[in-house]
Amino acid sequence: METSRHLLFFFFLPAVLALALIADAETNAGDAAAMRALSRSLGADRTLGWSPNSDPCDWRHVTCVDGRVTAIQIGNQSIVGTLPPELPNLTALTRLELQSNGIFGELPSLAGLSSLQTLFLHDNDFDFIPSGFFSGLTSLTTVYLDNNPFQSWEIPESLRDAGGLVNFSANSANVTGSVPNFFATAFPSLNLLALAFNSLTGQIPASFAGTGIRSLWLNNQMGSSLSGGIAVVQNMTGLEELWLHSNSFNGPLPDFSGLTKLRDLQLRDNQFTGPVPSSLTSLKSLAKLTLTNNLLQGPVPVFPVSVKDLDLDPKSESFCLQKPGIPCDPRVDVLLSIASSFGYPLRFSDNWKGNDPCNGGWLGITCDNDGKITVINFQKMGLNGSISQEFARLTSLQMLLLSNNNLTGTIPSALTTLSSLKELDVSDNSLSGKVPSFAKERYFENAGELRYR
Ligand SMILES: *[C@@H]1O[C@H](CO)[C@@H](O)[C@H](O)[C@H]1NC(C)=O
Ligand SMILES: *[C@@H]1O[C@H](CO)[C@@H](O)[C@H](O)[C@H]1NC(C)=O
Ligand SMILES: *[C@@H]1O[C@H](CO)[C@@H](O)[C@H](O)[C@H]1NC(C)=O
Ligand SMILES: *[C@@H]1O[C@H](CO)[C@@H](O)[C@H](O)[C@H]1NC(C)=O
Ligand SMILES: *[C@@H]1O[C@H](CO)[C@@H](O)[C@H](O)[C@H]1NC(C)=O
Ligand SMILES: *[C@@H]1O[C@H](CO)[C@@H](O)[C@H](O)[C@H]1NC(C)=O
Ligand SMILES: *[C@@H]1O[C@H](CO)[C@@H](O)[C@H](O)[C@H]1NC(C)=O
């Protein structure tokens, strides 16, 4: 008897002490008041059984440490209600998980929740996010705001306070404006940036080159769209997932050879031009790729079986032929290298269809009856870039008209080998350097004079 009583005593003593200790760490009065306000505005006494008569630190899905509320995890609990202005009083909060409920109304400012690390607000009915929302959230690493019917908003400067940001996701959140530069400069640990199904405009900032971002989703901008070239991608060597589909990106596909971890690349429904680079067809990591509905040129690329999931409809592009792997006509190859020096302009890709540049339909190209290119007229086409020395491979060329564009660089000396060339007009561009010495008997417009700036 005596022994077992001792045993019982020793058995329970630590538990009793522990309980006493917990009771000692009294719930912080400010936190308790803020939690009661939260419970009232969410109707959580009914949905979660958060009893007004009990201590908020005893409520389900609430975690406290030393009497301070550190986590509220009430995702997917069929809660309908609003958030109270007292929320930012919970200054010890590290996790706030409210996702997948029917919480509506304005988000209160969270200014000052300097311990907050994880914020899940996605899949609710919030309709407003204040611009100072992220002010002072210096511990924030993970933010999910997706699928809320916000009034349109731009990613605010206040987000910069979250220097340790790792994942930022705001798909379908009515975000407007441009993709801020500071995602690249302010967040050295950024891993995921997801801003799909918004109304963003502008380009991928050049500063994104060299960032360690692994997942970038900018697809399906609605109403407006993202545009410009994606050369910056070639230096984003940490990328595993790149989703840029359904935008207005243009220009050639970049060199992918440095992106050795890229698994999932979605580029369909844009305006990419130029050939599919071999750095993409030979990318070992690639398993999923979409390219349909662009204006890609050159031969239909052949991908290895490791690309299990391939979306590429040759009919939707500007390939020279429809069968994979068949090379283009040599004249097409020359014209494509010429276009390459101009950055593969959209207009050429739009007009240069099929495998016969002499079929009469190719913008700026005239041929003789033997199918040899005799005239190239690219005047006033807004062309950028430089004059390709590949022109020298069109040995029957008689007229080369490039005036009134924005060409820079020099006139390639290889052009002097064109023995049939009668007229070269490069006036009204921004060329520089020496004019190569063409044989005297040939004349060069305008009005017998070669003008260049
Ligand atoms: C919240 O904090 C503000 C300012 O710090 C204070 O005035 C207010 O009374 C607090 N609210 C509650 C419910 O504790
Ligand atoms: C939400 O809860 C329901 C039932 O309680 C469950 O079936 C569903 O998988 C949950 N959804 C998420 C996203 O957790
Ligand atoms: C986005 O915001 C604008 C202006 O605030 C609003 O008119 C529009 O309905 C919102 N769009 C969506 C999809 O919520
Ligand atoms: C960030 O996103 C990645 C990729 O979706 C995921 O694997 C990781 O768990 C997320 N990290 C956090 C802290 O949520
Ligand atoms: C990529 O990085 C290389 C070397 O660091 C640099 O020369 C080049 O300009 C960068 N390209 C882009 C598009 O950022
Ligand atoms: C030349 O560059 C400008 C500015 O980048 C661009 O808007 C224009 O479309 C380019 N022209 C062509 C023909 O690609
Ligand atoms: C071409 O250059 C001119 C003068 O340098 C400039 O005003 C114009 O905007 C440029 N056009 C394009 C399409 O880049």
Q: What is the pLDDT of residues 85-109, one digit of tens each?
A: 999 999 999 999 999 999 999 999 9
Residue bearing the bigger pLDDT, 434 or 185: 185
* The dihedral formed by the CA atoms of 96, 102, 106 and 110, expressed in degrees to the nearest 10: 0
Residue 124 has pLDDT above 70, yes or no: yes
Task: Please give the Cα distance from 224 to 211 (Å, whole number).
Answer: 26
Say what the pLDDT of residue 20 is.
44
Q: Which domains does the chain have, with CATH numbers?
A: 26-170 (3.80.10.10), 175-185+192-327 (3.80.10.10), 330-451 (3.80.10.10)
Ligand closest in space to the Cα of 79: 2
Exposed, middle or buried by CB within 10 Å (0-12, 13-18, 19+), for 20?
A: exposed
Give the mean pLDDT of 270-285.
98
Q: Are 441 and 421 contacting, i.e. CB atoms less than 8 angstroms apart?
A: no
Q: Are 185 and 207 contacting, i.e. CB atoms less than 8 angstroms apart?
A: yes
Half-sphere exposure (CA, 13 Å, Cβ side) for 136?
10
- How does residue 224 score in pLDDT terms, banded at 50, 70 and 90? confident
φ, ψ at 423 (rounded to 5°): -140, 130
How would you classify residue 38: left for phi > 0, otherwise alpha for psi between -120 and 50, otherwise beta?
Answer: alpha
> Which atom of ligand 1 is found nearest the CA of 36?
13
What is the sign of the dihedral through the CA atoms of 32, 37, 42 and 43?
positive
Calculate how far, in angstroms, residue 43's C-alpha sits from the geometric centre of ligand 7. Answer: 61
Element at 226 (helix H, strand E): none
**pLDDT tens digits for range 163-177:** 999 999 999 999 999
Residue 8 has pLDDT above 50, yes or no: no
Cα distances (angstroms) measured from residue 63 to each of 56, 72, 80, 321: 9, 7, 21, 64
Ligand 4 pocket mutation, candidates 191, 242, 261, criterion most atoms within 8 A of CB: 191
Whole-structure pTM value: 0.89
% pLDDT > 90, the chain: 85
Say what the pLDDT of residue 119 is.
98
Residue 449 has pLDDT above 70, yes or no: no
Tell me which residues have their CB closer than 6 angstroms to ligand 2: 76, 100
Task: Please give the Cα distance from 389 to 26 (Å, whole number).
Answer: 80
Say what the pLDDT of residue 255 is.
98
Q: What angle do CA 351, 372, 405 make, to 5 degrees?
A: 45
Cα distances (angstroms) measured from residue 303 to each of 269, 284, 324, 330, 394: 19, 10, 9, 23, 31
Say what the pLDDT of residue 173 is.
98
- How does residue 349 score in pLDDT terms, banded at 50, 70 and 90? very high
Q: Are 436 and 413 contacting, i.e. CB atoms less than 8 angstroms apart?
A: yes
Ligand 4 pocket mutation, candidates 167, 216, 242, criterion most atoms within 8 A of CB: 167
Give the mean pLDDT of 329-353.
97
Q: Where are the alpha helices (DSSP H) in 129-273?
A: 182-185
119: three-class secondary structure by DSSP? strand
338: three-class secondary structure by DSSP? helix
Task: Please give the Cα distance from 322 to 335 (Å, whole number).
Answer: 19
Residue 334 has pLDDT above 90, yes or no: yes
> Which atom of ligand 3 is found nearest the CA of 151?
5
Q: Are 142 and 121 contacting, i.e. CB atoms less than 8 angstroms apart?
A: no
Ligand closest in space to the Cα of 140: 4
- How does residue 422 score in pLDDT terms, banded at 50, 70 and 90? confident
Calculate how far, in angstroms, residue 20's C-alpha sits from the geometric centre of ligand 4. Answer: 39
For ligand 1, whether the C-beta of 33 sits within 6 Å is yes
Hunting for tokens 């009294």 — which residue is that?
26
Tokens at 143, concatenated: 């933010």
Longest dimension (CA), the chain: 126
Residue 331 has pLDDT above 80, yes or no: yes
Ligand closest in space to the Cα of 164: 4
Residue 188 has pLDDT above 70, yes or no: yes
Give the mean pLDDT of 25-53.
94
Task: Please give the Cα distance from 369 to 269 (Å, whole number).
Answer: 38
Say what the pLDDT of residue 442 is.
55
Q: Are 81 and 108 contacting, i.e. CB atoms less than 8 angstroms apart?
A: no
Residue 112 has pLDDT above 90, yes or no: no
Task: Report the candidate in 265, 349, 253, 248 with the shortest Cα–Cα distance to residue 311.
Answer: 265
Give me the chain's average pLDDT, please: 92
* The dihedral formed by the CA atoms of 359, 360, 364 and 366, expressed in degrees to the nearest 10: 80
Exposed, middle or buried by CB within 10 Å (0-12, 13-18, 19+), for 5?
A: exposed
Residue 26 has pLDDT above 80, yes or no: yes
Say what the pLDDT of residue 444 is.
56
> Which atom of ligand 5 is found nearest the CA of 235?
1
